[in-house]
Amino acid sequence: MELIVAHDRAGLEKARSSGRVALVPTMGALHEGHRSLMRVARTLADQVVVSIFVNPLQFGPAEDFSRYPRTFDSDLDICAAEGVDVVFAPSADDMYRPDRQVSLSAGRMGAMVEGAVRPGHFDGVLTVVMKLFNLVGPQVAVFGQKDAQQLALIRRMVADLDLPVEVVGAPTVREPDGLALSSRNRYLTPDDRQRALALSRALHAGAARLSPAAVRAAAEGELAASGLVADYVVLVDPATFAEIPDDFRGEAVLAVAAKVGTTRLIDNVLIAF
Ligand code: PAF
């Protein structure tokens, strides 16, 4: 089957099948991590729809919206190679009416951790994901564990707003040396790329410890030793993103964010206590 590219709602409407649909929302600049989401989606549905839309609502005024990598032709090649059925790539004008009034709030959870550093970011993410759910009408949607707080908030949105969509999280894909794949890795100079390895090293150091306090200390120590200034190092409940207490039992997320040169990177790992 040939890949269908829909640039607007009408095109999407025509391309949609009546069978089970899996959606993989992306902002393009696709890499091996996105390919793994597409492969998961393929196992879950008859039709796989990938959306490619750099969502202006989720970027702050001083963030990288205008320079965010846009690689549409190679994105289409990747989608075709992965057997994706439909790419939905709307324009910003098609997605957002100029007199738009209503949007979603990610609430208190959206203002924590990553949301504390990027105010309004998760409101923008939830608003566009809700619109994509409404436009594409998937039964299932696949998101990367790499954006752990985004995944948690999308699960919350589905539960709180009774959306008929199953949300599936897929594991982070890493380079052989540990660097988590990210569209923003393209910004890194060779020197930055070496320094960026401190994030995965910090997670590795933390995951080797037994108590929450020791995990935090080891991760913070590793980042400090690398000379990177962290935006945060947190050990949180994967569903609520609240810091876990020392007697916590279950699975937690150790999440880190730091600027490497001009590029802000995030990473996380799941740790069982
Ligand atoms: O994870 C991303 O690429 C984006 O935040 C998403 C989910 C496609 C919404 O714009």
Residues 98, 136 within the same domain = yes
Residue 226 Cβ < 6 Å to ligand 1: no
Q: State which of 24, 38, 125, 154 you would mutate to test the pocket of ligand 1, scoring each by most atoms of that ligand within 8 A of its C-beta.
A: 125
Compute the distance from residue 25 Cα to the ligand 1 centre, in Å.
6
Q: Is residue 72 part of a domain?
A: yes
pLDDT tens column, 128-171: 999 999 999 999 999 999 999 999 999 999 999 999 999 999 99
Q: Is residue 53 part of a domain?
A: yes
**Angstrom distance (rounded) from CA 86 to CA 41:** 12
Could you say which of 125, 146, 170 is where a domain stops?
170
CATH number assigned to the domain comprising residue 246:
3.30.1300.10
Cα dist. 1→25, 42, 47, 75, 136 in Å? 21, 14, 11, 17, 19
Compute the distance from residue 24 Cα to the ligand 1 centre, in Å.
9
Residues 191, 62 within the same domain = no
Instruction: Specify the pLDDT at position 214.
Output: 97
Q: What is the mean pLDDT of each run of 10 residues along the chain (273 residues)?
A: 94 95 98 98 98 98 96 98 98 96 98 98 98 98 98 98 98 98 97 98 97 97 95 98 96 98 97 97
Compute the distance from residue 225 Cα to the ligand 1 centre, in Å.
32
Instruction: Specify the pLDDT at position 1.
Output: 76
Instruction: Specify the pLDDT at position 11.
Output: 97
Residues 202, 127 within the same domain = no
Residues 149, 33 within the same domain = yes
Instruction: Specify the pLDDT at position 111.
Output: 98
Residues 21, 118 within the same domain = yes
Q: Is residue 176 part of a domain?
A: no
Residues 112, 157 within the same domain = yes
Compute the distance from residue 124 Cα to the ligand 1 centre, in Å.
9
Q: Is residue 243 part of a domain?
A: yes
Residues 136, 17 within the same domain = yes
DSSP string, 154-217: HHHHHHHTT-S-EEEEEPPPB-TTSPBP-GGGGG--HHHHHHHHHHHHHHHHHHT-SSHHHHHH
Residues 129, 209 within the same domain = no
Could you give the number of structural domains in the chain?
2
Could you say which of 170, 200, 219 is where a domain stops?
170
- Strand, helix or coil at 66? coil
Q: Is residue 175 part of a domain?
A: no
Q: Is residue 178 part of a domain?
A: no
Question: By C-alpha distance, which of 30, 8, 32, 33 is closest to 75?
Answer: 30
Question: By C-alpha distance, which of 144, 150, 155 is closest to 114?
Answer: 150
* C-beta of residue 263 within 8 angstroms of C-beta of residue 188: yes
Residues catalogued as catalytic: 34
CATH number assigned to the domain comprising residue 42:
3.40.50.620
Residue 25 Cβ < 6 Å to ligand 1: yes
**Angstrom distance (rounded) from CA 43 to CA 65:** 33
Residues 109, 43 within the same domain = yes
Residues 136, 229 within the same domain = no
> Nearest C-alpha to atom 9 of ligand 1 is from which residue?
125
Instruction: Specify the pLDDT at position 81.
Output: 98
Residue 147 Cβ < 6 Å to ligand 1: yes
Range of the domain at 260: 183-268
